[in-house]
Structure 1
Amino acid sequence: MTDCGPTQHRFVSQRLSLNYLDWGNPTAPLLLLIHGGQDHARSWDWVARSLRDEWHVVCPDLRGHGDSSWSRDGSYSLPLFVADLAQLVDHLDESPVSIVAHSLGGGIALRYAGLYPELVRKLAVIEGLEILPIDHKPDLPIIESWRTWIEQRRALSARSPHRYATLENACTRMREANPHLTIDHAQHLTIHGLKRNEDGSCNWKFDNYIRALIPIDLSENPEELWRNIQCPVWLVHGADSWAIHPERDGKADHFKHVLVTSCEAAGHWVHHDRFDSFLHDLQAFL
């Protein structure tokens, strides 16, 4: 296939207009690539370009991210994200689907696969078993958890998006968040993750309200959904990440058909930090 970029499309979910990128090859099996929090669909470009000859690759922008609409009331919870994914699969009308997902996207995909096991063929999840909002404390009592969330919402209502005077400044911030990134990768992610303001400054496309995820889950027991997943699951862990190895804390035990890989010299973004080895293993898994 020719080395051209993806086409941009829209679909409507829960009254929001959401964006997705289609890399072509529509007669091939469908493969969804789902990004993580504060990220965007173009973060998958290297993976998508490598897989587009064998797969119909589609990369959505989650609500409040990339070129998708922001929630009007700043609502970002896992049930809403999962409903958006269900709407996208229905909109594309191709199933079963294979999914590769990172972080927040992994948490969404795991819940979708547990709810609709018959619609998912393969599921690769990069660091998506634990979704930790900024300043999140997992052992907070429920009352304190809710009150903390309300206070976060109030604080965010008064917070303006941080503006960067130049693309280079934003790129520096991108590399601070992930020191494993090459300059070229950081520039690509930054260019597609920014919007330019009238005064020439830039700020990130994502909605700041995603920093305060609603303190309820689709289920108080996500392991029940994990146990209902019928397809093979590949859990990918970065050895330099904050996330716990899924075999050490027993989370991997909740899946029927599971493969676990921990990648050395990789942090939270394994698909960026160890691209060549990740792609090789992903192709084998798929």
Structure 2
Amino acid sequence: MAEHDPARFSFTSQGLALNYVDWGNRDAPLLVLVHGQLDHARSWDDVARVLREEWHVVAIDLRGHGDSAWSPDGAYGFAQYVFDLARFIEHLGGGDVTFVGHSLGAAILLRYAALYPEKARRIVAIEGLGSSPAISRKREAEPVARRWRNWFDRRARNLARTPRRYGSIAEAVARMKAMHPRLPVETARHLAEHGVRENPDGTFGWKFDDRARDPSPGETPLHDREAFWRAVECPVLLVYGAESWASNPQEDGRAAHFRDARTVLFDGAGHWVHHDRTERFVAEVRRFL
């Protein structure tokens, strides 16, 4: 293990062995990092190496991601994710926890904080509010039977597809760069090295379960998400990239549903703000926390 690399541990939730990494400094306040969809815990390394000086930093691999077990029945809905997080916080000792989450991870944290407001101290949510209100309303206007059928069709396609394979880690790095052109080469290499595993035939494949690409049909409609946001009692920092597909929550009205939230927009950043503008992101997080 390289200097300042985290130690690896696991716990059990709903019969699944879930992986997490611990950066030490256990006498400091607890800071839990939760990655986004199809990502992994080691995606936080650049952030964690700085924050570990002041915090006891841990980062979890969500079910079906990284080195955590895959759901045998492909259950990757918010109910499963939030329950896993609740078990994780219990495993760590519970209590007054500060959170940083990206995308799916941030959405999970906000739901957890709504259910257990006494356990959440502060939350940094990187683009974790889902689709804009306009897009959400358009999707929810479709007949419910059509939405379910569309999900069935997507799930069937995912089950039938052959997972992408790479002849070397270098090929996986190239794919990572192609999908996220703002990533520095060294960051793409780090993400790929920790995000693939070697197959019996010598090729490499991503560690995530393809069935985690799509949540269950009808997952948390807009009015329910707004109710969750209103139930969050702790201060929230809403982080958005100016060049992301996501809309600005200050402008589209979503930030107003929180009791105590402010929005910070990062120029020169897309959806992966913590990778695109790492130094400024860490500075904003430290200031907020």
TM over 0.5: yes
How far apart, CA to CA, are the structure 2 residues paired with 1:131 and 1:16? 29
Look up the match of 1:74.
74
Output the TM-score relative to the length of structure 1.
0.95
How far apart, CA to CA, are the structure 2 residues paired with 1:6 and 1:218? 34
How far apart, CA to CA, are the structure 1 residues paired with 2:183 and 2:118? 37
Give a deviation string over 1:118-157, Cα, whole Å, max 9, x none: 100000000000169xxx9734332111111111111122
Q: How does 1:239-254 map to 2 (within 5 A)?
A: 239-254=242-257
Give a deviation string over 1:196-249, Cα, whole Å, max 9, x none: 112221110000001121023357511111111111000000111000000111
Tell me, yes or no, if the aligned pair for 1:79 and 1:218 is still in contact at 8 Å. no
Look up the match of 2:156.
154
Look up the match of 2:226.
223
Give a deviation string over 1:227-281, Cα, whole Å, max 9, x none: 1111100000011100000011100000011110110100000000000111111
Query: What's the offset of the Cα at 1:3?
Result: 3.9
Look up the match of 1:256.
259
Look up the match of 1:138.
139
Tell me, yes or no, if the aligned pair for 1:51 and 1:57 is still in contact at 8 Å. yes
Query: What's the offset of the Cα at 1:78?
Result: 0.7
Look up the match of 1:93.
93
Query: What's the offset of the Cα at 1:51?
Result: 0.7
How far apart, CA to CA, are the structure 2 residues paired with 1:124 and 1:212? 24
The total of aligned residue pairs comes to: 282
Look up the match of 2:272.
269
Look up the match of 1:44.
44
Look up the match of 2:212.
210
Moved more, 68-77 or 156-165: 156-165
Amino acid corresponding to residue 188 of structure 1 in structure 2: H
Matched, 1:233 2:236: yes
Q: How does 1:14-33 map to 2 (within 5 A)?
A: 14-33=14-33
RMSD in angstroms over aligned alpha carbons?
1.6
Q: Identity percentage over the alignment?
A: 48
How far apart, CA to CA, are the structure 2 residues paired with 1:87 and 1:268? 28
How far apart, CA to CA, are the structure 1 residues paired with 2:147 and 2:7? 41
Counterpart selection for 1:278 from 278, 281, 289? 281
Give a deviation string over 1:99-130, Cα, whole Å, max 9, x none: 00000001100100111111000000000001
Listed as ranges, the gaps of 5+ residues in structure 1 are none
Look up the match of 2:128.
128
Matched, 1:109 2:109: yes
How far apart, CA to CA, are the structure 1 residues paired with 2:182 and 2:35? 18
Look up the match of 1:182.
184
Q: Secondary structure at the match of 2:252?
A: coil
Look up the match of 2:59.
59
How far apart, CA to CA, are the structure 1 residues paired with 2:54 and 2:277? 22
How far apart, CA to CA, are the structure 1 residues paired with 2:116 and 2:267? 33
Moved more, 122-131 or 269-278: 122-131
Tell me, yes or no, if the aligned pair for 1:127 and 1:268 is still in contact at 8 Å. yes
Listed as ranges, the gaps of 5+ residues in structure 2 are none
How far apart, CA to CA, are the structure 1 residues paired with 2:225 and 2:237? 17
Tell me, yes or no, if the aligned pair for 1:40 and 1:66 is still in contact at 8 Å. yes
How far apart, CA to CA, are the structure 2 residues paired with 1:130 and 1:94? 27
